[in-house]
Structure formats: C-alpha cells, structure tokens
Chains A and B, each alone.
Chain A
Amino acid sequence: MSRRLMKGNDALAEAAVRAGCRFFGGYPITPQSEILEYLSARLPEVGGTFLQAESELAGINMVYGAAAAGFRAMTSSSGPGFSLLQEGISYIASAELPAVIVDVQRYGSGLGDIFQAQSDYHMATTGGGHGDYHMLVYAPASAQESVDLMCLAFNKAEEYRNPCLILTDASIAQMMEPVELPEMKEVNPDKPWAVRGKSGQDFKKITSTMYYIDDFDTYIKEKYDAMAEKEQRWEALHIADADVVLVAYGISSRICKEAVATAREQGIRLGLLRPITVWPFPVDGFKEVNPDVKAYLTVELSSLPKLDIDVKLACKMKSPVENFLGGAVIPESQQIIEKAVSVLEKVEATSCLKN
C-alpha cells in the first residue's frame, strides 16, 4: 500500500492500472479529461495501451475489442459523452464481456455545463442503452472510495462477465484527497472465451449471447436477479431511530453526513442511507430503517428528482418521500436540515388532520 494526495480522477485512473487494466480508449470531455491525461502517460509504463479515440463511439468499441480479447479494458466520459457510449455498452453487456466505464457526471441535458451534478442516474441505473441489461453501478463518495470501487468493479465485471460503471461527479473527481493505493495486480488475459485466433470447429464468436443460450429470457433474468440480490452495498448512519432518513450518494451524501451529525446535536433525529451501489439499489438497507420513520428525504444534484422512484419502491410507499434538489449547486448542510425539519412539520400536520 502507498499513500498519496491525489485528485479523484487521477485516483480512479491509477486504481484502474493497479487493478490490471491494460487498455483505455476514450475521448476528452470535461470534467473527466484528467483520466485520459493520466493514463496516456501511465499505461505505456506498464506495457498497456492508451488510445485517444476519434469519438466516444469509437472509444467504447475499442474497449469492446480489447475486452473480447480478454484484457481488462476501460473508458471514461461525462454526460453528453456518456450518452454516446450507450450503444457500445449495450453490445458489451449483450456479448457478456467484462469492462469498466466511468461517468463523471456533469450538469444539465443537451450540452449542459461542466459543473458537478447527479443527473445521469436513470441512464446509469436502467441500463441506458437499448434492450435488456443492467450494469453494476458504483457511486464513490471520496477519492479513496473511487480507488476501492474501481478495483472492485474490475473484479465484479469479470465475475459476472458484465460491464460495470463508476458513477461519480465533477466534485469528487476534481477534489484532492489522500488515498491508500493497492498493490499492482497482473491479470492473465487468456480467458477461455477470449478471441485470440483458433480455426475449425473451436472458433469463438463474440456476439449477443442470446444466439447461443437456450431459454435466454430465463437465463438473463436469473443473471441480473443474482446481481441484484448479492451485490447491494450501502452505508447506514443512525437509521434505526431516525424520524427522517436522508437518501443520497456521492458528493451529496458527504454533505448529508454533516447534516446528520449537526441535526443530532440539535436533537433532530436524522439518519442517512447512502447507496454505494445505485444498481442494484440497496433495498435491503431499508429493512434496517426505523419502522416508525416519518419520511425520507432524497438529496441530489439534479433539476428533477431521480432517486425518488427507487426510494419509493424500496420503502414500499409506506412513508412519504420528499426531494432536495440542488441542481448544480452543492447544498450547505444547514439547508438540508431546514428542509428535513419542514418535511417533518408537514408530515406531522398531515397526521394531525387525519387524527
């Protein structure tokens, strides 16, 4: 292990190299470009390949090729570029190949802007591209967690032979924090399924596995059901006795942690449920929430609520779900406390009316 002060993007990139990634194909876009810049120098040092693609479309398809050849491969992008990756991601998922994709989310639809945001949630968690697939989606809340989840993502990608996504945002990616880095890992690319040339009847075909698997519908549903059951990760803070449970991931969750601590000092019983995987959504975490919880409050950097639906389903609509939407602005913890208090007052007023 070595300890360094690193920018979130650089930490992600170095973690990928240490996880055995030996191919990167991608295209510059703010606020993820440091990943390209870092890997353009770093990958050749370890005998890997860095390729600046002519577009995100080419980048993800280079990753498709390198992954099909058995190598740990990744690409990264942001918002508008992430939209363009979806075609290739759908193919990689359909061919059941491992790969890691990073989306450093930025604000707005269309061009939007380069500020931090959490607007790509639905595109990330519902598959995003065409057809029936999901990705394991990891949402780091610090540079250290970016490192840890990058290593995990490569392992899980190979375990399930499925693309995995690191869903981060400009603030986590651009801030500098101390990180512990793992040892360098070498990974054998000669997987039994990898293309590397073999003629005759043993030739390998990398294409949609639906062509080769009987009862594909059952097979693919069982695969994603298993991921949904086994791969949920979350962090819980004071949820067993909370009146209001905040639900937030990534940068928003860090402000929420401060809000919970401050509110508790004031006698306001806030809790926090922080999804570390946003797909699968950590529904099991909600089983540990105070059964008499008054309300949930999602906190996210977007203009429209995104977490809302997943939280409503996870709590089975037993409690009201309200939203704190920051747009591109990271809220102060005090604003979150004030919103939580107003939610509490609203719930209590409603229950008085009912009584």
Chain B
Amino acid sequence: MSEKLIPNLLVEDNKFCPGCGHGIINRVVAEVLEEMDLADKAVGSLAVGCACLMMDTFGTDWIQAPHGRAAAVAVGVKRVRPECCVFTYQGDGDSLAIGFSETMYAALRNENITAIIVNNGIFGMTGGQMAPTTLPGQRTTTSPQGRNADTTGQPVNIINQIKEVPVGYLARGSVDTAKEINKLKKYIRTAIETQMSGGGYSLVEILSPCPTNWKMTLEASLDHIKTKVKETYPLGEYVKNGERVDA
C-alpha cells in the first residue's frame, strides 16, 4: 500500500467547503515551504474571510491582521526580521477591495514579501457577495441581476495594476487541472525564492473555485474557470527577476 504523503505543515484537516480551492493551495504552499527548508522561518499574515481558517490547520507562525491590512502587517514583520519568510495569504475581497491600498503600496515600495491572493470572484465566508473580481454578469447575493460593470466598475486585475511597477515576481495560476496545479507550485516556489534572495515584492494570484457560493457543482465550477474566468484573468508569469516576461 502506498503511503499518504501530507506535508508536516498541515497539522490538521482543513475546514473549507467541499470543492473549495483553498485546500489545494494550502497544500501547495506547505509543500514549497518544506521543500525549500523554510518551514521554521515562515511567518504568515492573513486577515479575515475563508483564508483565516488556516490559522489552526497550517502550522506556521501566523498573525491575524484587520480586514485588508495583511500586507501592512507583513511589512512590519519583514522589516524587523528580514531573515524570515514572510507571506500574506488573502482572498480577493480582502486584498483587493478594503485592502487594495495596502496591497498596492507594498508592491510600490517593492517590499520583500510574498503575496498569495486567492481569486474566487466572491466574498465567500460572508455568504457570496460581489467582490472586486466578480465577473460582469455574474450573479451574487449583492448583484442578484448579475454584475453590471457600468455601475459597479470593471473587475480588478491586480496583475495589470502592478506589472508596470518595479517588483520582483508576478504570476497568475489556477487550480482547475493537475497541470495548472503543478505550474502553480512552480510560481509559488519562484515567488518565495525571489523573496529569500532579496529580489523584492512577489505576488501569485490564484484562480480558485467556490462551488458553494457559485451555486455550481465542482465540475461546473472548474469548467467555469476554464471557459470564463481565464478570459478575464489570463494565466502565466508576468514579471520574473524584476523583468517583464509576458510581452
């Protein structure tokens, strides 16, 4: 019988809904930290929303920031303890709505931290409200007729916002297929390598399903990412070693 290999950093079973992408992303981040021998140096900063369920299940040091402020808290840690591997783990609502300023300014200062932003296009924990990343036409509890971009604005593409800024590493991955999960792992590894070599700000945005609030089966959710979400949020690396690689 084959052994079930679970990273030591995952100290308890996760608490996410069935079909949620966070569980996969947690595992990928844990694997990267362990493979890079950084598990004992890692300090995570998260705030509220589904991401904060990791506090009990993901065995690094954590700080729980106020809603939106995880990047500022991470900066405070990294500036006084540059030897630590400091990362934020946030949803799109947290990092790109209330926390847009903190996210942008961490990038603008090229802070030597790694931002992991999980984009499922929705406020999950609060019950499925419209997020900055919600697609036009997408129904949520606060856009019951479908998001009208004329009145609510276009979806926030954080990579487009940051890619003109001098930062270390920018990539967008997805968890919709095994192939994409493997690519995602490389992106997260490169982001952490960028930080630990002093290469500046690194950000990995991850497209992730929320079957519960999308009111879809897992299969339909993954299909939705493949056919719809990726159109608005194309995958790939955008900045590497401080240089644009998407042109």
Q: Does A267 sit at the interface, judged by CB under 8 A?
A: no
In the complex, are the beta carbons of A62 and B72 less than 8 A apart? yes
How far apart sit A195 and B64, CA to CA, in the bound complex (Å)? Answer: 12
B75–A62 touching, CB < 8 Å: yes
Provide the bound-state CA to CA distance between A197 and B87, in Å: 12
A57 at the binding interface (Cβ < 8 Å): yes
Query: Once the chains bind, are A203 and B75 in contact (CB under 8 Å)?
Result: no
Q: Which of B40, B42, B65 contacts A61 (CB 8 A)?
A: B65
Q: Looking at the complex, which one of A53, A88, A199 makes contact with B8 (CB distance below 8 Å)?
A: A199
> With A195-B63, A199-B60 known to touch, is A68 a contact of B41 (CB < 8 Å)?
no
| B11 contacts A61, C-beta separation under 8 Å | no
Interface stretch, picked from B15-23, B76-84, B89-97, B122-130, is: B76-84
Question: Which of chain B's residues has its CB closest to A66's CB?
Answer: B76
Q: Are B79 and A198 in contact (CB under 8 A)?
A: no
**Complex interface: chain B residues within 8 A of A71 (CB):** 80
Number of interface residues of A (CB under 8 A): 41
Is B187 an interface position by the 8 A CB rule? no
Interchain Cβ contacts within 8 Å, total number? 141
Is B61's CB under 8 angstroms from A195's CB?
yes
Question: Are B43 and A208 in contact (CB-based, < 8 A)?
Answer: no
Interface string of B31-58 (1 = CB under 8 A from A): 0010000111111010000000001100
One of A23, A91, A200 near B11 (C-beta < 8 A): A200
Answer whether residue B135 sits at the interface, using C-beta atoms and an 8 A cutoff: no
Mostly, the A contact residues are mixed
The answer to whether B39 touches A199, judged by C-beta atoms less than 8 angstroms apart, is yes
Kindly report which residue of chain B lies nearest to residue A62, judged by CB atoms: B76
Question: Whose C-beta in chain B lies nearest to the C-beta of A97?
Answer: B63
Distance of A161 from chain B, by nearest CB (Å): 15
Complex: A88 Cα to B63 Cα, angstroms:
13
Residue of B nearest to A50 (CB): B79
Chain B proximity of A195: nearest CB distance (Å): 4
- How far is it, in angstroms, between the C-alpha of A189 and the C-alpha of B80 when the chains are bound? 10
A195 CB contacts on chain B under 8 angstroms = 43, 61-63, 77, 84
How far does the Cβ of B149 sit from chain A's closest Cβ, in whole Å?
A: 27
User: Is B59 part of the contact surface with A, judged by Cβ < 8 Å?
Assistant: yes
Q: B66 within 8 Å of A by Cβ? A: yes
Which among B38, B72, B102 has the highest number of chain A CB atoms within 10 Å?
B72
Of residues 1 to 44 in A, which have CB atoms within 8 Å of B's CB atoms? 22-23, 25
Q: Is the interface of B mostly helix, strand, loop or mixed?
A: mixed
Cβ of A67 to closest chain B Cβ, rounded Å? 8
For A23, what are the chain B residues with a Cβ–Cβ distance below 8 Å?
A: 76, 79-80
User: A64–B65 contact, CB under 8 A?
Assistant: yes
CB neighbors of B among A185-239 (8 A): 189, 195-201, 203-208
* CB-defined contacts of B62 to chain A, threshold 8 Å: 195, 203-207
Please tell me which one of the listed residues A57, A58, A206 contacts residue B63 in the complex, with CB atoms under 8 A apart: A206
Question: A113-124 toward B: CB 8 Å interface, digit per residue (1/0)?
Answer: 000000000000
What B residues does A91 contact at CB under 8 A? 65-66
Digitize B1-22: 1 where CB-to-A-CB distance is under 8 Å, 0 elsewhere. Answer: 0000000110100000000000
- Minimum CB distance partner of B52 in chain A: A207
Query: Once the chains are docked, how many angstroms separate the CA of A70 from the CA of B77?
Result: 9
19 contacts between A and B (CB under 8 A): A23-B80, A54-B101, A57-B101, A58-B72, A59-B72, A65-B75, A65-B80, A66-B76, A66-B79, A66-B80, A69-B43, A195-B43, A195-B61, A200-B39, A205-B62, A205-B64, A206-B62, A206-B64, A208-B64
Please give me the 7 A-B residue pairs with the lowest Cβ-Cβ distance, nearest first: A65-B76, A61-B72, A199-B39, A207-B64, A62-B76, A65-B73, A195-B61
Other than the given A69-B43, A199-B33, 16 more pairs (CB < 8 A) read A53-B72, A53-B105, A58-B101, A61-B73, A65-B80, A73-B80, A87-B66, A91-B66, A195-B62, A197-B38, A197-B42, A198-B40, A203-B61, A205-B55, A207-B62, A207-B63
